[in-house]
Amino acid sequence: MTSTHLARPILSRRAFLRGVGITLTLPFLEAMQPAFGAAAQAGETASRPRRILAIQTNMGLIADNFFPKQAGLDWTPSPYLELIQQHRKDFTVFSGTSHPAVDGGHAAELALLTAAPHPGAGGFKNSISLDQFAAEQIGTRTRIPSLNILVGSENRHSLSFTRSGVMIPGEKSASAIYRRLFVQGTPQEVEARVNDLRVGRSVLDFVNDSAKRMQRDLGPRDRERMDQYFTSVRDLEGQLVEAEAWEYRPKPKVAMPEPKDITENNLLVQRMQQMFGVVRLALETDSTRLVTVFINPFSMVPAIDGVTHETHSITHHGNRPDTLQELALIEAAHFRMLDELLAGLKGAREENDTLLDRTQVLFGSCLGNANAHDNHNLPMLLAGGGYKHGQHLVFDAKQNYPLPNLFVSMLQRLGLEADKFASSTGTMRGLEATA
């Protein structure tokens, strides 16, 4: 008895790769397809877009200095929140939240925006980050689909990961970001960039044609997968066309001159301040709607009065008062810069709103207790974005509420038809949007 299934030619992945002639695997292309189609715009107009700015400080925060003691609206500011008290009605604090199955101590910094499980395990493969999930659907509406920034002593860190789990490196140079956003290239430079984009489109055409020739030998399920592949290629082609069109459009003009890069790693506060200034301009000119900032003071002694020890070592403070006091000086500096950032966003207007009203600012850390490398009870707050703020939402400190629920709420507020992200179980309970 002959089986139709057994008689069908077997097509190995290696044969597929030989057939298309490049190192691009089918699962990668299949996974690159956006999860949803055209997104509802939920209160967005051409002049009033919505945005996300996500900021991680990867060395944790002293819990007693961050979390208020009271829940709800009637809470007394903690020492850190006192530093942003002028924005009290513009942010919500969350306690008792974390990413289910995200562990590994410092390794969890890879998964703050992805919630991919067990980042410290061997063979870990990351998943798509919150910003890139959104960029797949709205990235072509702006010159820069997403802006990924690194402030720290290391060269390779980022919050952003593609759908295939590949890190998008963070940019450390404020001047390079400024030029990318606001400095118009010469006609020759523009044509060179356009030519690079056209080369990319040519590669996709080759992949598409080669795959179509092989499709006739596939079974029904593989044909369905190939249809997804072709959809992904068409999506990428569309993104390249949009990117080419942006190259010919004039860049916005801003009053701020090109910044001079601060190269001294220990000038952490000054570098944060400089980068936050560029971020505000990027958002204000609608050059991008998706920004991540990775703050990494791991091996530095920040130039802050009273700080004499390297940051990572004093996060393992053992509850020694003098060490905690020194660590608090570093962490408080983060909140002073956050205060300045929020004030700048509130000071910029978009019709009847402020830029902060239109921008969801997520700030927090992958470590709940850096002293113990614990990844539970993460210190997190969300500012702006058009929510009913001013509250402290408290969840179970032992059985943490899934933080990915907040990501679903943020995606929906961005106008995307998202009802699931990573290990989410719904939207963030207790967080309500304004009209």
> Which of 67-71, 200-204, 207-211, 405-409 shows the lowest mean pLDDT across its residues?
200-204
Task: Show the DSSP H helices in 249-320 as ranges.
Answer: 268-284, 311-315
pLDDT tens for 97-123 read 999 999 999 999 999 999 999 999 999
Q: Looking at the predicted structure, is the pLDDT value of residue 327 above 60? A: yes
Q: For position 199, what pLDDT does the model report?
A: 52
The span from the CA of 224 to the CA of 227, in Å, is 5
Handedness of CA 383, 388, 391, 394 (dihedral sign): negative
The span from the CA of 69 to the CA of 427, in Å, is 25
CB 197 within 8 A of CB 176: no
Local confidence band at 21 (pLDDT 50, 70, 90 cut-offs): very low
Helix or strand run (H / E) with residue 19 = helix 13-20
CB 364 within 8 A of CB 409: no
pLDDT tens for 234-290 read 555 555 555 556 666 788 889 999 999 998 989 999 999 999 999 999 999 999 999
Q: For position 219, what pLDDT does the model report?
A: 73
Q: Which amino acid is at 213?
A: R
Give me the residues paired with residue 354 across strands: 349
Q: For position 250, what pLDDT does the model report?
A: 84
Q: Identify the three-state secondary structure at position 92.
A: strand
Overall average pLDDT of the 396-411 stretch: 97
Residue in the structure block whose two tokens are 């505000």? 280
Helix or strand run (H / E) with residue 131 = helix 130-138
**Contacts by residues 257-263 (CB-CB < 8 Å, ≥ 24 positions apart):** 258/175, 258/178, 258/179, 258/182, 258/183, 259/174, 259/175, 259/178, 260/175, 261/173, 261/174, 261/175, 262/174
The span from the CA of 36 to the CA of 416, in Å, is 8
Q: Which CATH topology does 48-184+256-414 take?
A: Alkaline Phosphatase, subunit A (3.40.720)
pLDDT tens for 38-94 read 333 455 666 689 999 999 999 999 999 999 999 999 999 999 999 999 999 999 999
Closest residue by Cα to residue 382 from 336, 340, 337, 433: 433
Q: For position 11, what pLDDT does the model report?
A: 44
Residue in the structure block whose two tokens are 């997190």? 380
Local confidence band at 134 (pLDDT 50, 70, 90 cut-offs): very high
Q: Which amino acid is at 137?
A: Q
- The tokens describing 191, both together, are 């044509």
pLDDT tens for 162-180 read 988 999 999 999 999 998 8
Local confidence band at 433 (pLDDT 50, 70, 90 cut-offs): very high
Q: What is the largest CA-CA distance in the chain?
A: 83
**How many Cβ atoms are within 10 Å of 206's Cβ, its own excluded?**
13
Q: Looking at the predicted structure, is the pLDDT value of residue 20 above 60? A: no
Closest residue by Cα to residue 388 from 427, 431, 425: 431
